[in-house]
Structure 1
Amino acid sequence: MQFEVLTDIGRKRTVNEDSAAVYTLPDGVLLAVIADGMGGHRGGDFASSTAIQVIGEQFMKLDLSQLKEQEDRAEWLIEAVLHVNRLLYDTANNNEEYKGMGTTLEAALIQGRSCLVSHIGDSRVYAINKEGVRQVTKDHSYVNILLDSGEISEEEAAVHPQRNWIMKAVGSERTIEPDLYSIDLDEETYLLLCTDGLSNKVDKQLMQEIVLSDANLRDKTEELVDLANQMGGEDNISVILIGPTGMEVTQP
């Protein structure tokens, strides 16, 4: 399994509050994590980078026997996110400079063809193959609530003045309940994790065209980020692109 990680400050921001990383254990067990921080320059950057670092450190200490069953992997993944939430919440409450900080957090744990995704916020995970682009996660956003209730259309959501309001973030509340998704990956399906700096700019058709092109994985990742910048680049842009199962794991 191959992967590429790329984060970019964009064209308008002075600080990159996104963080992204992929961690690997023996036998091809992989954890991909991406986060979009909020709460001011210092708070947002601290929240996202700390979330990625802490969950990665916990993952790298694991014994493979702890991940043998899907129930074990799900339990570990949720508890790891809850641990990060408690850490960030306590830090924010004990340090004035971090008051109000939080972060989105997508964590995809892959073992063989099994993929578990923990989701909080409005960063996204997509499964992409020749059949199309499937958004695995559901945004925890104000606009998505309006969409679900039928109050606005998808076209109205795309330009809604409150489209960046998120209703759930890691570190913003004492307790949190992540969404958990289980998907099966096959030899033709790519997994794309991204922050809204990409998903707000690049539509599904262009995503599919780029990801399924003949370019190598690094070039595909760079093309996605470049396209988001060409279309305005108002936000930080982060992408993790994971190739279909069966490919050898390579470091970016």
Structure 2
Amino acid sequence: MISIVRTDVGLVRSNNEDSYLYQPPRLFAVADGMGGHAAGETASAMAVEVIKEWAVQERLVLEKDLAAAIEDANAQIYQRAQKEDGMQGMGTTATVVLLEGNQAFWAHVGDSRLYWLSEGQCRQVTQDHTLVGEMVRSGNLTLGEAREHPRRNLLTRAVGTARELLVEQGSFSIGAGDYLLLCSDGLTGVVSEAEIQQVLEQKQESLEEKANRLLGMAKAAGAPDNVTFILIECEMPAHGA
């Protein structure tokens, strides 16, 4: 297993509210903060730090543990937001992957995404917890309409914005040649799933070249938001890497 991480402020924002956890070959996370300059950065950094601490304490084994870590982050961010001036309403997305052998365990809240490319199929594993995402799933909006909808970034679920939180979670089996992509919506907001798949399927390019191409495509499209992603190539069972 080989992996690479990229984060960039983009071409419009003055600060980067994205955070990530990069602990190959086992643990990866992306968090995209919301709530203004200091608050968004604080929320995403707190989420990543809590997940990291759970890993240090060796409490991460299955997807339910990832979900519990996100719930812990939710409680800590929510409590801080209630106490500190300027932090009210802060929150963050959180998409986490834990690799054990040939299993990928994951947990997720918000509109960052986990993609899985396997045997020529690119799947969006996570659901977008957005108003527009719910409209697509209910059949009231097409994917094309969703990409142009003026409220496409309105989250219906985020870490830290409410006392209670429902965390999406699951697992799947990975194989040699598969790719995993964790990313903030700064990438998927301007680069389509089809374009992502086309980049990942370029066999003559290294993982670094693929990552550079994805970031370059986001910037060529204007990169109006921060862009953060972790790209993983499964060359062998992940835990044996």
Q: What's the TM-score bracket when you normalise by the shorter of the two chains? A: over 0.9
Aligned length: 240
Residue 141 of structure 2 corresponds to residue 152 of structure 1: yes
Amino acid at match of 1:238: T
* Cross-structure match for 1:192: 181
Query: Is contact 2:184–2:227 with CA below 8 Å preserved after alignment?
Result: yes
Deviation per CA, 1:100-141, whole angstroms, max 9, x where unpaired?
100000000110111111010000000013422100001000
* Cross-structure match for 1:75: 64
TM-score norm. by structure 2 comes to: 0.94
State the Cα distance separating 1:218 from its structure 2 match. 1.8
Deviation per CA, 1:36-91, whole angstroms, max 9, x where unpaired?
0000010001111111122112202317xx73xxxxx2332121111111000000
Separation in structure 1 between the aligned mates of residue 193 and residue 119 of structure 2, nearest angstrom: 12
Query: Is contact 1:5–1:21 with CA below 8 Å preserved after alignment?
Result: no
* Cross-structure match for 2:88: 99
Write the mapping of 1:48-197 to structure 2, written as runs, cut at 5 A: 48-62=44-58, 67=61, 73-197=62-186
Partner of 1:97, secondary structure, is coil
* Cross-structure match for 1:70: none
Query: Is contact 2:64–2:169 with CA below 8 Å preserved after alignment?
Result: no
Separation in structure 1 between the aligned mates of residue 104 and residue 136 of structure 2, nearest angstrom: 28
Residue 212 of structure 2 corresponds to residue 222 of structure 1: yes
* Cross-structure match for 1:16: 16
Separation in structure 1 between the aligned mates of residue 234 and residue 93 of structure 2, nearest angstrom: 25
TM-score norm. by structure 1 comes to: 0.90
Partner of 2:30, secondary structure, is strand
Query: Is contact 2:186–2:226 with CA below 8 Å preserved after alignment?
Result: yes
Partner of 2:155, secondary structure, is coil
State the Cα distance separating 1:144 from its structure 2 match. 1.2
Query: Is contact 1:88–1:102 with CA below 8 Å preserved after alignment?
Result: yes
Query: Is contact 2:99–2:238 with CA below 8 Å preserved after alignment?
Result: no
State the Cα distance separating 1:240 from its structure 2 match. 0.3
Separation in structure 2 between the aligned mates of residue 131 and residue 218 of structure 1, nearest angstrom: 20
Partner of 1:12, secondary structure, is coil
Separation in structure 2 between the aligned mates of residue 100 and residue 5 of structure 1, nearest angstrom: 29
State the Cα distance separating 1:216 from its structure 2 match. 1.6
Partner of 2:86, secondary structure, is helix
Query: Is contact 2:21–2:28 with CA below 8 Å preserved after alignment?
Result: yes
Separation in structure 2 between the aligned mates of residue 90 and residue 141 of structure 1, nearest angstrom: 23
Cα 1:231–1:100 shift into 2, 3 Å: same
Cα 1:113–1:159 shift into 2, 3 Å: same
Deviation per CA, 1:167-214, whole angstroms, max 9, x where unpaired?
000000111010012111110210000011111111122211211222
CA root-mean-square deviation: 1.9
Partner of 1:14, secondary structure, is coil
Separation in structure 1 between the aligned mates of residue 238 and residue 31 of structure 2, nearest angstrom: 26
Separation in structure 1 between the aligned mates of residue 238 and residue 156 of structure 2, nearest angstrom: 38
Structure 2 portions without partners, runs of 5+:
none
State the Cα distance separating 1:245 from its structure 2 match. 4.4
